[in-house]
Amino acid sequence: MYEIDASNLQSDVAIDETRIAAWVRHVLEQEGVAEAEISVALLSDVEMKNLNETYRGEPSTTDVLSFLYDEFPLSGEIVISPARVAHQAREAGIPFETELATVLVHGVLHVLGYDHEGSKEEADAMWARQSELVKALLT
């Protein structure tokens, strides 16, 4: 059973909250998670900058932050700045939806325990799985 809540708390970019929740559900299913409570908050770039500074000590904005609250049943939160995601999509010359899916999957994988900052092997595994999941979401 999944409890997934997506809350759009910003007005910079139009977001389909139902699609966000469906994408989270898909990733959880593909990862074999039986039970989870995940919230996704879509915030302004200013709010994201404040969170990034508070929790990571980085005085700049970021696209996604993930917080694991409990491992069983899985409970966590993913915070995304759609304005930052839109900026990154423009810079990369890709559709906003592609970048949003990538950032969201990245956040879910972090909640699930994936890490790209430890070893190269862990990073490679995370990037590969992220790519597979994003491809599945967008096809």
For 65-114, the pLDDT digits (tens) are 999 999 999 999 999 999 999 999 999 999 999 999 999 999 999 999 99
* pLDDT at residue number 84: 98
Question: Between β-strands 64-71 and 74-80, what pairing exists: parallel, antiparallel or unpaired?
Answer: antiparallel
* pLDDT at residue number 118: 87
Sign of CA dihedral 8, 132, 30, 56: negative
For 10-38, the pLDDT digits (tens) are 999 999 999 999 999 999 999 999 999 99
2-138, CATH topology level: Collagenase (Catalytic Domain) (3.40.390)
- Domain spans in the chain, listed from the N-terminal domain onward: 2-138
**Which alpha helices (H) appear in 31-119, and where do they start and end?**
45-56, 82-92, 96-111
The pTM assigned to this predicted structure is: 0.96
Q: How confident is the model at residue 41 (pLDDT cuts 50, 70, 90)?
A: very high
